[in-house]
Amino acid sequence: MTSSQSVILKTATPQDAMAIAELKVICWRDAYQGLMPESKLAALDAADEEPHWSNWLADKSCGLVARLLWLDGKLIGYGLAGPMRLGDRPGKEIEADGELYALYIHPAHQRGGLGRKLLSSLLEALIAEGYRQLGAWMIGGNLPAEKFYLKLGASEVAKRVEIHHGRIGYREKSWIWNDLPKLLARLNIRSV
C-alpha cells in the first residue's frame, strides 16, 4: 500500500500519453481478466494506444478533465472525466451532465485511498465547471469497481448492453451520482 502523502497529483498533458497507455494496458489486464477474452487482453499494446491518448489530451474543445497520480517518477493512476458522451448507447443513455470516463490505479497500489484522491480531484474540477451529476459506465462483473461505486453512493441506472472497444466486445452497467458536491464531501470525509 502506498501512502497518499508521497503521491504527486497533476493534470495530464499530451506528453503523458505513453505513460497513460502503458498503465492502461496493465490495469485492463488485471481488472478485466476473465471478463474479456484473454487473447484480446494479451494483444493490448501501449504503442498502439499512445496516439489515441495524445490526440485526446491535446483536444482542448472536448472538455476533458484528466488527472494523474505519480510516485517516484512512475505513473500509478489516472482519472478522466468530462461531458456526458451521448449517442453510442441508444436507449441506454445516462441522464447526467458529466461522465467519469476512467479511474484506474495500478494493481500494486490499490485499496490505499488513491482512487478516492484521484476522484476528488476530478470532482473539484467538474464542480468548478458547473457539472451537477456524474454518470459512469463500468464493465459488467468488475466487482471491485462496483463495490467502490456503491460505497460512494452511486445508483445503478441501466443494465448491461453490448459495447465494443476496438476489437474487444464486453457487457456494461451504468451508474449515477446525482449530487457532485455531496459526493465530494463524502470522499473528503472518508479520506481524512
Nearest by Cα to 122 from 105, 134, 112: 134
Average pLDDT (132-159) is 88
Cβ neighbours of 183 (radius 10 Å): 21
Query: Would you say residue 137 has pLDDT above 60?
Result: yes
Residues of the chain by 3-state class (helix, strand, coil), percent to 5: 40, 30, 30
Residues 62-113: tens digit of each pLDDT:
999 999 999 999 999 999 999 998 756 555 678 899 999 999 999 999 988 9
pLDDT-derived band at 1 (thresholds 50, 70, 90) equals very low
Domains delineated in the chain? 8-191 (3.40.630.30)
- b (16+ CB within 10 A) / e for 49-67: bbeebbebbeeeeeebbbb
- Which residue in the block uniquely carries the three cell numbers 456526458? 84
Query: Would you say residue 165 has pLDDT above 70?
Result: no
